[in-house]
Structure 1
Amino acid sequence: MQNTDENDVLVSRLGNGCDLADVEEGKVYQGKVQGFATFGVFVQLNDRIKGLVHKSNIKAEHKERDSILVRVRQIRPNGNIDLEEVLIQVYQVQSIERKSTTVRISDLDDKVGRTVAIEGEVAQIKQTSGPTIFTVIDETGTQNAAAFVEAGVRAFPEVELENIVRIIGEVMMRNNQLQIEVDAITVLTGEDSDAVKLRIEKALDARSEPEEIPLLVKSEVMEKLRPEMRKVAKLIRKAVFTSQPIILRHHADADGICSAVAIEQAVVSLIRESGGDFDADYYLFKRAPSKAPFYEIEDITRDLDFSLKDHIRFGQKMPLVLLTDNGSTEEDEPSYKIASVYDIPFIVVDHHHPDATIDKYLLAHVNPYHVGGDFGITAGMLGTEVARLINPKVEPVIRHLPAVAGVGDRSEAPERALFLALVRDQYPEQACKDIALALDYEQFWLRFNDGREIIKDILNITGNTERHKKLVALLVEGANTMIEDQMSACMPHVVPRVLSNDAHLFLIDVEIHAHKFTFPPPGKTSGEVHDRLCRQNAGKPVVTIGFGPDFAVLRSRGVLMNIPRMVRELRVEIPGGGISGGGHLVVGSIKFVEGMRGVVLEALIKKIADAQVQLAVQ
Structure 2
Amino acid sequence: MGSCIICGVDVDGGGRICDSHQEDVAFDFQGNSPDQLVPSRFYRGVVDGYAEFGVFVDLAPGVTGLLHRSELDRRLDSLDWEPGDEVFVQVKGVRDNGNIDLAWSIRQADREFRGILVQDGDTEHLPDEGEDETDADDAADGSGSVDTETAEDGTDESAASGSETNGSETAEPEPADVGDDESDDVGDDTDAAASANAEEAESEAEGDDNESDATDENDLDDDRERVEIGTLSDAIGESVRIDGEVVGVRQTGGPTVFEVGDETGVVDVAAFVEPGVRAHPNVEVGDAVRIDGEVESHRGDVQVESEALVLLDGAEAEAVRRRLAEALTDEARPDGLQPLAGDESVAQLADGLLDAAEAIRRAVLESRPIVVRHPATADGYVAGAAVERAVLPLIREEHAKSDAEYHYFTRRPLEDPVYDMDAATNDATRMLQDRDRHDEKLPLFLLVGTGSTVESADGIDLLSVYGVDAVVVDAEVADAETREAVDTLVSPEIDGVDADLSTGALVASLASAVNDEVRADLRHLPAVSYWEETPDRYVDLARDAGYDAERVAELREAVALEAYYQSYQDKRELVTDLLFEDGGNLAAHVSEQFREKLETEVGTASENVVTEAVDGVEFALLDTDGYTHRYDFPPTPLLLDDLHRRNANGEAYATVGIGTDELYLRTTADVSVRDVAARASELAPAADVTTAGLREGKIEFLSGERDAVEDAIVAAVADAF
Bin of the TM-score, shorter chain as denominator length: 0.7 to 0.9
Partner of 1:590: 699
Partner of 1:417: 536
Aligned letter for 1:599?
A: A
Aligned letter for 1:508?
A: L
SS class of match (1:454):
helix
Change (3 A) 1:499 1:37: closer
Change (3 A) 1:82 1:144: closer
- 1:295 Cα shift? 1.1
Change (3 A) 1:450 1:79: closer
Partner of 2:67: none
Contact between 1:347 and 1:364, CA under 8 Å: does it hold in 2? Answer: yes
Contact between 2:220 and 2:308, CA under 8 Å: does it hold in 1? Answer: no
Partners of 1:442 and 1:97 in 2: CA distance: 55
- 1:259 Cα shift? 0.3
TM-score normalised according to structure 2 size: 0.68
Partner of 1:530: 644
Partner of 1:606: 715
Partners of 1:273 and 1:400 in 2: CA distance: 25
Question: Which residues in structure 2 correspond to 1:173-212 (within 5 Å)?
Answer: 173-212=297-336
Question: Which residues in structure 2 correspond to 1:143-158 (within 5 Å)?
Answer: 143-158=267-282
Contact between 2:296 and 2:302, CA under 8 Å: does it hold in 1? Answer: yes
- 1:582 Cα shift? 5.1
Partner of 1:21: none
Partners of 1:285 and 1:81 in 2: CA distance: 40
Question: Which residues in structure 2 correspond to 1:180-329 (within 5 Å)?
Answer: 180-329=304-453
Structure 1 unaligned spans of 5+: 1-32, 51-75, 84-92, 613-618
Aligned with residue 294 of structure 2, among 170, 179, 197: 170
Aligned letter for 1:544?
A: T
Aligned with residue 553 of structure 1, among 664, 670, 674: 664
Greater shift, 223-232 or 484-493, is seen at 484-493
- 1:256 Cα shift? 0.2
Count the aligned residue pairs: 527
Partners of 2:243 and 2:404 in 1: CA distance: 22
Change (3 A) 1:191 1:605: farther
- 1:375 Cα shift? 7.5
**Deviations 1:401-436 (CA, angstroms, capped at 9, x unpaired):** 1100023xx3x4xx7221111122522223222221
Aligned letter for 2:568?
A: F
- 1:224 Cα shift? 1.2
- 1:176 Cα shift? 2.8
- 1:478 Cα shift? 1.8
Partner of 2:126: none
Partner of 1:577: 687
Partner of 2:166: 43
Contact between 1:353 and 1:564, CA under 8 Å: does it hold in 2? Answer: no
Change (3 A) 1:564 1:270: farther
Aligned with residue 98 of structure 1, among 195, 208, 221: 221
Aligned letter for 1:224?
A: Q
Change (3 A) 1:42 1:205: closer
Aligned letter for 1:533?
A: N
Partners of 2:235 and 2:389 in 1: CA distance: 32
Partner of 2:552: 432
Partners of 2:203 and 2:597 in 1: CA distance: 78
* 1:117 lines up with 2:245 in the alignment: no
Contact between 1:122 and 1:161, CA under 8 Å: does it hold in 2? Answer: yes
Partner of 2:564: 444
Change (3 A) 1:565 1:118: farther
- 1:583 Cα shift? 4.5
Partner of 2:137: none
Partner of 2:653: 542
Aligned letter for 2:557?
A: L
Contact between 2:269 and 2:305, CA under 8 Å: does it hold in 1? Answer: yes
Partner of 2:483: 359
- 1:579 Cα shift? 3.1
Contact between 2:380 and 2:503, CA under 8 Å: does it hold in 1? Answer: yes
- 1:541 Cα shift? 3.0
Aligned letter for 1:598?
A: D
Aligned letter for 1:610?
A: D
Contact between 2:420 and 2:459, CA under 8 Å: does it hold in 1? Answer: yes
SS class of match (2:565):
helix
**Deviations 1:533-587 (CA, angstroms, capped at 9, x unpaired):** 12xx2x4432111111211111122x121224444565677544333335457x5
Partners of 1:82 and 1:479 in 2: CA distance: 69
* 1:480 lines up with 2:595 in the alignment: yes
**Deviations 1:176-208 (CA, angstroms, capped at 9, x unpaired):** 332111122222234433332122112111111
* 1:511 lines up with 2:634 in the alignment: no
Partners of 1:36 and 1:270 in 2: CA distance: 50
SS class of match (2:479):
coil
* 1:333 lines up with 2:457 in the alignment: yes
Contact between 2:378 and 2:557, CA under 8 Å: does it hold in 1? Answer: yes
Change (3 A) 1:47 1:292: same
Aligned letter for 2:688?
A: G
**Deviations 1:426-479 (CA, angstroms, capped at 9, x unpaired):** 2222322222111111222222111111122222x12x41xxx22222222222
Partners of 1:255 and 1:94 in 2: CA distance: 55
Partner of 1:455: 575
Contact between 1:566 and 1:607, CA under 8 Å: does it hold in 2? Answer: yes
Aligned letter for 1:276?
A: A
- Amino-acid identity (%): 32
Partner of 1:388: 512
- Over aligned residues, Cα RMSD in angstroms? 2.9
Partners of 1:152 and 1:529 in 2: CA distance: 61
**Deviations 1:242-297 (CA, angstroms, capped at 9, x unpaired):** 11111111100100000000101111111112233100001111111100011122
